Amino acid sequence: MKGLWIRNANVYLPDRVLTGGSVYAAGGRIARICGPEDGSPAKPDDADEVWDAEGLSIVPGFVDVHVHGGGGADVMDAAEDDEAIGRIARFHALHGTTSFLATTMTAPRNELERAVDGVVRAMERGVAAGGAEVLGLHLEGPFLNPRRCGAQNPALIRPFDRDEMEDLLARGRGAVRLVTLAPECGDALRRIGALRDRGVTVSIGHSEADSETVRRAIEAGASHVTHLFNAMNPLHHREPGIVGAALLRDELTVELICDGFHVHPDVVKLVFAVKHRDKIALVTDAIAAAGMPDGDGYRLGGLPVAVKEGKAVLRDSGNLAGSCLTMDRALKQAVAFTGLPLAEVLPALTINPARQIGADDRKGSIEVGKDADLVALGPDLTVVRTYVKGVRVDG
């Protein structure tokens, strides 16, 4: 491919919005960015695709670090189905996600190992063609607190096992980028530093950790909180716990699920008002049912799930079971909930999550040299086009 030339758009750069701007990409990377005063970045015949995007906004592709599935496929299906990750990647790319972490569920050790193997195979094949790029794995469990299991199967949650974690890291071949654990359970607290030293971002989640335990986890190297407010002890005026630390400690980046079910809109607004803006990461926590019809025939982590009007719950307990959210809808909801302009919300879907998993050298912002992961948004923030490394994703 010679190049992609998008012109006459509102281009959202890290420090400003370039009105009437142009972006030229070659070889999958951004080669030049310029405004009307700079002239054309290339002659039309120098590019395979030339697009006049007048009236549209060009923003960085969304980076979702917490995705279980979508379009009828689940990450855990990768153990047996070589096409599962590709289906997830294609579905979410149509909603502006250009890269993501394939997120596992608590499962028996052999099933979890096979799922990790399947994701690694998919990454090696390169499922980004026609879909979002898989940046690695997020292991959500199995080393959690069963009292805060959420939609995880409590019967399969287990104490931190160093040998099991080492095996998963070895099978991941460097692809494990994020691990959610409960620091108060078993040996987890003592193992955080070793995970951090291996380049893994450690997240506190599905946990009842008190303030002191959270403090020690941060000192050990924990830097992330999985779906803030959900599957954790609530804020209390005598024991602020995880929520209090998440809001106050700049070492922690917090995930938010902005589907209107997991977190009340006013609480989303509160987090954006209190938390440093570069420490918020919007995620979908999407499951296989995302993009599919309502019904009660879905499963998550082996447990039966029912979906009604876009809300997914476990059939037996009624607990929220991930979401049917997409990142474009998360963006719309966050802007509506907070009343903030697009430029102030975008980092939570782009550079912030990219930074958390060490991918900000090539993802998360529109800058020369970075991957040409670009999303065109209409005035109502609807996704018009998605490009992954300069290649248009077709619906």
Packing angle of the helix pair 211-220, 241-248 (nearest 10 deg): 50
For the chain of 395 residues, list the mean pLDDT of each consecutive stretch of 10: 88 97 94 83 73 97 98 97 95 98 98 98 79 97 97 96 97 97 96 97 98 98 98 96 98 98 98 97 98 96 96 95 98 98 98 98 98 98 97 88
77 is catalytic: no
280-282 and 295-300 as β-strands: parallel, antiparallel, unpaired? unpaired
Which residue's structure tokens are 């902005």? 258
What pLDDT was estimated at residue 1? 58
- 309: which 2 tokens? 């009007």
What pLDDT was estimated at residue 129? 55
Which entry of 74, 285, 328, 371 is annotated as an active-site residue?
285
What pLDDT was estimated at residue 268? 98
- The alpha-carbon radius of gyration of the chain (Å, integer) is 20
Which residue's structure tokens are 């692809």? 175
Displacement of CA 321 from its chain's centroid (Å) = 17
What pLDDT was estimated at residue 19? 96
E strand or H helix at 336: helix 327-338
End-to-end CA separation in angstroms for the chain: 20
183-186 contact pairs (CB < 8 A, 24+): 183/207, 183/209, 183/213, 183/214, 183/216, 183/217, 183/220, 183/222, 184/145, 184/208, 184/209, 184/210, 184/213, 185/143, 185/144, 185/145, 185/159, 185/160, 186/143, 186/159, 186/160
DSSP secondary structure of 187-222: THHHHHHHHHHTTPEEEE-SB---HHHHHHHHHHT-
What pLDDT was estimated at residue 188? 96
Residue 100 burial by Cβ neighbours in a 10 Å radius (0-12, 13-18, 19+): buried
Q: Residue 383's beta-bridge partner residues?
A: 377
- Please, which residues have CB within 8 angstroms of residue 1's CB and are 6 or more apart in sequence? 26, 27, 28, 48, 390, 391
